[in-house]
Amino acid sequence: MGTHRDVELLAIGAGPANLALAIAIEELAGDDLARDSLVIEQADTVSWQRGMLLPEAQSQVSFLKDLVTLRNPRSRFSFVNYLHSVGQLSEFINMGSFWPYRLEISKYFQWVANSLAKVRVEYRRRCGTVEPRRDANGAVTGWLTRLSDGSTIGSRYLVVGAGRDPFVPTEFATLPAHRVVHSSDYLPRISQYPKDVPYRVAVIGGAQSAAEMFDAVQRDLPGCRPTMIMRSIGLKTYENSRFTNELYFPSAVDDFFTARPEAREQILREMHITNYSGLAPEMLEKLYRQLYLDRLTGEHRLRIVTMTDVTAACDDGDEVVLELTDRRTGAVDELRCDLVLLGTGFVRQMPALVRSLANSLGLSRIDVTRNYRLRVDGPVTGACYLQGVNEATHGIADSLLSVLAVRASDIVEDILANRDTDGAEPMAAHLAPVHAS
């Protein structure tokens, strides 16, 4: 039987969201809460979107939107202080860019985890399931988290910051695992294929991740012949008007949260092209030049297929057969390939971990307050907070770095405001108006 221990606050996942939270706990809460807070991470290090940590990829938000600066510009946990600590500040300034390489942001996140003085981070701890703990009256008093090594951790507060689940369209779900790679797994998986085989590679999707894989696979499998297949009319840059970019400000969350459902829908619809379906301009330029040169040299190794749905996929022994349906004509064709790379993004609905927790709470819908606290029916003295999965209620920036410094303090302040009740006063389950989402 596994071991059991209790902490006051358990945070699942040492991604940027929970690292920002750990900083906020150290800076805003007392020693007692900070020293009784634990962050668990399934991997053996901190890494930012490790499957796509490509050497040349740059962050799409300003370095000033780090884990803390928008909340506390004087914090020792800033990206600028990291650069100073590792002797990189002068070079970074000299680069003259607001958009660091994802690699250096990832190293900054690991530096933050190593620099925490009170909140502990433990690696190789994978959360399997979470269930509520209740007192004799049925009130939720906290959470029991079961780890995959069989041990359990009890906590009054739980903060889930475990990212989103990869989206694998049903057409690809039955293909053998060695034939399909989702972008979230790209780097570790692609390194397992022999470099000298002339793989026929199908890259599915028309947004940034698909484009990055289409580019990277030319280097990672030098003999391969990649074909990129997308539904849209062609690759386009993401929209980056300074006006609409203000909707990524932390201060935009209040407006979004209190907006009417139809207004939220309009905002998310219009903002889609600013985040999800477009490419960074440099990537677009690079890909166009690659295709141009490919034609110019007569190599004809690269191909981009637009306005096309993959309507079926099957394993045909030595290869995969994709059924392609042309959206313009309805004509059906097939593409035979060896490997499918999925740039299909992430599941829109709540991650499986959160859905299963909601199930064990008997919730008919998953909804959070303005301060990210899961709404639970009946009296509660424990609380669970959800990070990075509340785009529908908190706006387009919810899954990005843009808001997480401020969001971390929203959560910590919510905990501090209710913590002294010691269970005597049930925490109000509903602190803000509910809107359908």
Ligand X SMILES: Cc1cc2nc3c(=O)[nH]c(=O)nc-3n(C[C@H](O)[C@H](O)[C@H](O)COP(=O)(O)OP(=O)(O)OC[C@H]3O[C@@H](n4cnc5c(N)ncnc54)[C@H](O)[C@@H]3O)c2cc1C
- The contact set with ligand X (CB under 6 A) reads 12-18, 40-43, 48-49, 52, 59-61, 126-127, 161-163, 209, 353, 387-388, 399-402
| 103 token code pair | 């690699």
Helix (H) or strand (E) holding 160: strand 152-160
User: What are the contacts of 27-34 at 24+ separation with CB within 8 A?
Assistant: 27/68, 27/72, 27/75, 28/409, 28/412, 28/413, 28/416, 29/412, 29/415, 29/416, 31/118, 32/8, 33/8, 33/9, 33/415, 33/416, 33/419, 34/118, 34/119
The per-residue b/e assignment along 27-39, b for 16 or more CB within 10 angstroms, e otherwise, is: bbbeeebbbbbbb
Separation of alpha carbons 253 and 240, rounded Å: 19
Smallest gap, in angstroms, from Cβ of residue 13 to ligand X? 2
Q: Which is nearer to ligand X, 159 or 427 (CB)?
A: 159
Q: How far is the CB of 256 from ligand X (least distance, A)?
A: 17
Distance of CA 81 to the CA centre of its chain: 25
CB 239 within 8 A of CB 263: no
Using CB atoms within 10 Å of the CB of residue 1, give its burial: 0 to 12 exposed, 13 to 18 middle, 19+ buried: exposed
Q: Write down the least CB distance from residue 183 to ligand X, Å.
A: 6
Burial 96-123 (b: 16+ CB within 10 A, else e): eeeebbbbbbbbbbbbbbeebebbebee
- Measured from the CB atom, the residue of 132 and 388 that comes closer to ligand X is 388
Whole-angstrom distance, CA of residue 376 vs CA of residue 384? 9
Name the minimum Å distance from CB 279 to ligand X: 12
Tell me whether residue 145 or residue 381 sits nearer to ligand X (CB atom): 145
CB closer to ligand X out of 18 and 277? 18
Q: Which is nearer to ligand X, 2 or 198 (CB)?
A: 2
Cβ 300 to ligand X shortest distance, Å: 29
Residue 142 or 343 having the CB closest to ligand X: 343
CB of 388 to ligand X, least distance (A): 3
Specify the 3-state DSSP secondary structure of 393: helix
- Closest CB 14 distance from ligand X, rounded Å: 5
Question: Please, which residue, 39 or 139, has the CB nearer to ligand X?
Answer: 39
Q: Which phi and psi (to 5°) does residue 348 adopt?
A: -70, -40
- The candidate with the shortest Cα–Cα distance to 29, out of 420, 431, 328, 386, is 420
Q: How far is the CB of 274 from ligand X (least distance, A)?
A: 12
Based on CB atoms, which residue is closest to ligand X, 209 or 227? 209
Integer distance in angstroms from the first to the last C-alpha of the chain? Answer: 42
Query: What 8-state DSSP symbol labels residue 374?
Result: B
Nearer to ligand X (CB atom), residue 127 or residue 335: 127
Per the listing, tokens 């902490």 go with 7
Residue 144, sorted as left (phi over 0), alpha (psi -120 to 50) or beta, turns out to be beta
Q: Return the residue nearest ligand X (CB atom).
A: 15
What's the closest the beta carbon of residue 16 comes to ligand X, in angstroms? Answer: 4
